């Protein structure tokens, strides 16, 4: 009897979980449909492609971006992937630069209190400089170039990574280090098997934290100083008064950022830190 | 068959607050342990037991005096079991066993597996420490220490974080392992009953880190907690302790 009771309670608990999920999807879909509907109504009311193009017009542009424009030979089907890849590669390289600069700084800050005192304010200040400053700075120094955006992304993400790494290094479990020492492990082994795995999640957290910021700065520098990339396309179409294309590129940018963040980053993190799902208190 | 010699050992720690007194963790102790004996070190909290083991294992250094741990004249190989399991959370149980070993050959893996099996953890090789209960983690820690086949095994209150039932079963595991391998063991505990059940000799420390007493226990191994001879001896030594009236640390 008791078993039956538990079963039905469990079943209804599961039922509500599924119901909850269904309701959440419903809310999500209603939200998007409502958004597009309002957009469409507004565009009908404003009746101006230059100010607010309709969803249909933007969709046509999205289609052109992917499949090419039969009326314009310069705009073939490769335009999306070329520009998209240019942006993604810049951001990835920028993160490589940011991690390469931020990790050693973080180690110095986490290991040694003199270095911490010395580096803390510069790193904090670097972290609070607005992205636009970096974008303009690299444009002034490098002009229209490939290095500029990469460096700007590196500079904007560096403080986040440094501060996170410093925290991670400070938090390495002394008990595990002592254990390693008493079993005769070398400094190199301890670094590779204790310090690095402890700090890695913190580096990742730094990347996650600066991710959207880095994308924004990347786009900003592209708007001013690049000849390819999503940001460059936004500026070019803006100069051509092609508002539907501007919105199409912005929309694609947002969608790809979400996909990258929600699916790619989170997946990598989950895979890399599989052991963490079993961590528990005490 | 390690030989441990501790002579005129002292350890001071800097004052915990500015202008305070230095902390005397250990004050001039001398003792020697020779051969495959199980020695317990008991004493109230803060009397320098962990400090002593840390110095013996080389994690900490003495302020004055010396310790030597040798095996047939050469530096001895150590194993250490801590109060908490101290497993690398990002490595599976088997990979934790392999972390403290120098070769990754098939024999080496088989050897690690053998010790896991002795503590009843055959099925856990691929599991991560976070998936094990506290008692299972502690068993991995014990298997790890035995598996390096140390000349001297240091154990620092390995059962004090566990509930009484788990602790009892692990004590049986430990006795079983020890009876099979007969290593030199230094076992820190504040549980007198546990010390009597497990050891051939009990060194009693008092606050300030001085040796208060040195008791030998002559009973065959392994000993059951329920064995009346063990129980009688436990009662007797517990009685002695009550008369000693070791002062508590402030
Ligand atoms: N790293 C350290 N720095 C300063 N003081 C320390 C340090 N380690 C230990 N002490 C001090 O030395 C004394 C002995 O400490 P120890 O940890 O050896 O005690 P213990 O006998 O193991 O106690 P317990 O049974 O509680 O584990 C204590 O007063 C402690 O505060
Ligand atoms: Mg202790």
CB-CB under 8 Å, B130 with A175: no
- Asked whether the predicted pLDDT for residue A4 surpasses 50, the reply is no
Instruction: Return the residue whose CA atom lies nearest to atom 30 of ligand 1.
Output: B46
User: Averaged over A65-82, what is the pLDDT?
Assistant: 74
Per-residue model confidence (pLDDT) at position B25: 92
The beta strand positions in chain A, using DSSP E, are: none
| B30 CA distance to ligand 1 middle (Å) | 19
User: Averaged over A203-214, what is the pLDDT?
Assistant: 83
Round to whole Å and give the CA distance between B25 and B43: 12
Report residue B230 CA to chain centroid gap. Answer: 21
Q: Which residues contact A39 (CB under 8 A, 6 or more apart)?
A: A52, A54, A55
- pLDDT 10s digits, B145-202: 989 989 999 999 998 888 888 888 889 888 988 888 888 999 999 888 899 999 999 9
* Type and span of the H or E element at B25: strand B23-34
For chain A, percent helix, then strand, then coil, each to nearest 5? 85, 0, 15
Round to whole Å and give the CA distance between A275 and A126: 34
Per-residue model confidence (pLDDT) at position A18: 78
Round to whole Å and give the CA distance between B244 and B242: 5
Round to whole Å and give the CA distance between B193 and B231: 9
ipTM: 0.86
- Mean pLDDT check: name the lowest of A104-108, A121-125, A189-193, B66-70: A121-125
Cis peptide before B222, with omega less than 30 degrees from 0? yes
- Token pair of A140, please? 């002034």
Report residue B54 CA to chain centroid gap. Answer: 11
B117: nearest Cα among B181, B184, B173, B178: B173
| B41 CA distance to ligand 2 middle (Å) | 11
pTM of the model: 0.78
How near does any CA of chain A get to the CA of B140, in Å? 14
User: Averaged over A144-158, what is the pLDDT?
Assistant: 86
Report residue A92 CA to chain centroid gap. Answer: 10
**Ligand having the closest approach to the CA of B25:** 1
Instruction: Tell me whether strands B74-75 and B64-71 are parallel, antiparallel or unpaired.
Output: antiparallel
Per-residue model confidence (pLDDT) at position A12: 58
Give A74 or B90, the one with higher predicted confidence. B90
Q: With contact defined as beta carbons under 8 Å apart, do A102 and A214 qualify?
A: no
Per-residue model confidence (pLDDT) at position A188: 95
Sign of CA dihedral A190, A192, A197, A201: positive
* Type and span of the H or E element at B3: strand B2-13
Round to whole Å and give the CA distance between B30 and B59: 20
Give A207 or B109, the one with higher predicted confidence. B109
User: Averaged over A218-236, what is the pLDDT?
Assistant: 82
Round to whole Å and give the CA distance between B195 and B233: 11
B78 contacts on A by Cβ (under 8 Å) = 182-184
User: Averaged over B196-221, what is the pLDDT?
Assistant: 90
Per-residue confidence band for A5, with pLDDT thresholds at 50, 70 and 90: very low
Per-residue confidence band for B125, with pLDDT thresholds at 50, 70 and 90: very high
Residues above pLDDT 70, as percent of chain A:
91
- Asked whether the predicted pLDDT for residue B42 surpasses 50, the reply is yes
Instruction: Return the residue whose CA atom lies nearest to atom 14 of ligand 1.
Output: B48
Instruction: Tell me whether strands B184-189 and B152-156 are parallel, antiparallel or unpaired.
Output: parallel
Round to whole Å and give the CA distance between A214 and A161: 12
Mutation site, A182, A274, A282, interface B, largest B CB count within 10 A: A182
Q: Which residues contact A223 (CB under 8 A, 6 or more apart)?
A: A231, A232, A234, A235
How near does any CA of chain A get to the CA of B87, in Å? 7
- Asked whether the predicted pLDDT for residue B60 surpasses 50, the reply is yes
- Tally of CB atoms within 10 A around A133: 13
Q: What is the mean pLDDT of chain A?
A: 83
Round to whole Å and give the CA distance between A75 and A81: 12
Q: With contact defined as beta carbons under 8 Å apart, do B161 and B194 qualify?
A: no
User: Averaged over B223-237, what is the pLDDT?
Assistant: 87
How near does any CA of chain B get to the CA of A119, in Å? 28
Per-residue confidence band for A282, with pLDDT thresholds at 50, 70 and 90: very low
Residue bearing tokens 């924004």: A216
Strand ranges across the sheet with B2-13: B23-34, B2-13, B64-71, B74-75
* Type and span of the H or E element at A35: helix A2-46
- Token pair of A216, please? 């924004």
Round to whole Å and give the CA distance between B192 and B249: 18
Q: Which of B22, B26, B44, B50 to mutate to test the pocket of ligand 1 (most atoms within 8 A of CB)?
A: B50
B89 touches chain A (CB under 8 A): yes
- Asked whether the predicted pLDDT for residue A2 surpasses 60, the reply is no
B154: nearest Cα among B7, B26, B38: B38
Q: Which residues contact B112 (CB under 8 A, 6 or more apart)?
A: B94, B97, B98, B101, B143, B147
Q: With contact defined as beta carbons under 8 Å apart, do B26 and B48 qualify?
A: yes
User: Averaged over B236-249, what is the pLDDT?
Assistant: 71
Per-residue model confidence (pLDDT) at position B141: 95
CB-CB under 8 Å, B130 with A280: yes
Per-residue model confidence (pLDDT) at position B189: 92
Please, where are the H alpha helices in B122-218? 134-147, 164-181, 192-198
Greatest mean pLDDT among A139-143, A257-261, B97-101 lies in: B97-101
CB-CB under 8 Å, A184 with B57: no
Round to whole Å and give the CA distance between A259 and A264: 7
- Residue B23 Cβ inside 6 Å of ligand 1? The answer reads yes
- Mean pLDDT check: name the lowest of A57-61, A273-277, B130-134: A273-277
Per-residue confidence band for A175, with pLDDT thresholds at 50, 70 and 90: very high
CB proximity under 8 Å: B 101-130 to A: 128-130
């Amino acid at each position: 009897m008791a078993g039956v009771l538990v079963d039905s309670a469990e079943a209804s608990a599961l039922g509500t979980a599924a119901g909850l999920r269904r309701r959440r999807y419903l809310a999500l879909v209603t939200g998007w449909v409502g958004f597009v509907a309002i957009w469409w109504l507004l565009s009908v009311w404003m009746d101006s492609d230059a100010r607010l193009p309709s969803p249909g017009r933007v969709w046509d542009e999205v289609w052109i971006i992917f499949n090419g424009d039969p009326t314009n030979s310069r705009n073939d089907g490769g335009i999306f992937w070329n520009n998209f890849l240019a942006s993604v590669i810049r951001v990835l390289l920028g993160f490589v630069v940011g991690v390469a600069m931020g990790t050693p700084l973080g180690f110095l800050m986490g290991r040694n209190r003199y270095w911490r005192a010395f580096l803390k304010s510069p790193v904090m200040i670097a972290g609070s400089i607005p992205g636009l400053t970096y974008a303009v700075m690299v444009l002034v120094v490098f002009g229209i170039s490939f290095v500029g955006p990469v460096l700007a992304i590196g500079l904007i993400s560096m403080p986040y990574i440094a501060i996170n790494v410093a925290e991670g290094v400070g938090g390495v479990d002394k008990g595990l280090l002592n254990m390693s020492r008493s079993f005769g492990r070398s400094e190199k082994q301890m670094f590779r098997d204790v310090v690095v795995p402890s700090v890695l999640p913190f580096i990742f957290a730094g990347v996650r934290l600066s991710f959207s910021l880095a994308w924004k700065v990347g786009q900003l520098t592209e708007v001013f100083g690049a000849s390819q990339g999503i940001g460059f396309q936004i500026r070019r179409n803006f100069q051509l008064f092609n508002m539907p294309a501007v919105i199409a590129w912005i929309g694609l940018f947002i969608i790809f950022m979400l996909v990258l963040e929600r699916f790619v980053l989170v997946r990598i993190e989950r895979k890399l830190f599989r052991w963490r799902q079993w961590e528990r208190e005490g | 068959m390690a030989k441990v010699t501790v002579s005129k050992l002292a350890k001071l720690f800097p004052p915990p607050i500015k202008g305070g007194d230095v902390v005397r963790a250990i004050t001039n102790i001398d003792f020697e342990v020779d051969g495959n004996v199980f020695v317990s070190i008991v004493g109230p909290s803060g009397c320098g037991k962990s400090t002593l083991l840390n110095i013996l294992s080389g994690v900490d250094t003495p302020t004055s005096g010396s310790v030597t741990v040798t095996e047939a004249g050469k530096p001895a190989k150590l194993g250490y079991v801590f109060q908490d399991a101290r497993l690398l959370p990002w490595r599976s149980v088997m990979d934790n066993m392999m972390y403290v070993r120098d070769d990754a050959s098939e024999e080496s893996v088989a050897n690690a597996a053998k010790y896991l099996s002795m503590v009843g953890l055959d099925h856990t090789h691929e599991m991560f420490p976070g998936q094990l209960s506290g008692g299972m983690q502690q068993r991995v820690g014990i298997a790890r220490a035995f598996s390096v086949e140390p000349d001297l095994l240091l154990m620092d209150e390995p059962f004090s974080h566990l509930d009484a039932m788990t602790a009892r079963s692990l004590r049986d595991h430990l006795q079983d392992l020890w009876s099979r391998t007969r290593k030199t063991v230094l076992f820190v505990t504040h549980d007198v009953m546990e010390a009597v059940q497990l050891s051939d000799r009990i060194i009693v420390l008092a606050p300030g880190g001085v040796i208060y007493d040195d008791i030998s226990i002559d009973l065959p191994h392994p000993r059951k907690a329920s064995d009346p001879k063990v129980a009688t001896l436990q009662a007797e030594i517990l009685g002695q302790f009550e008369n000693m009236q070791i002062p508590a640390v402030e």
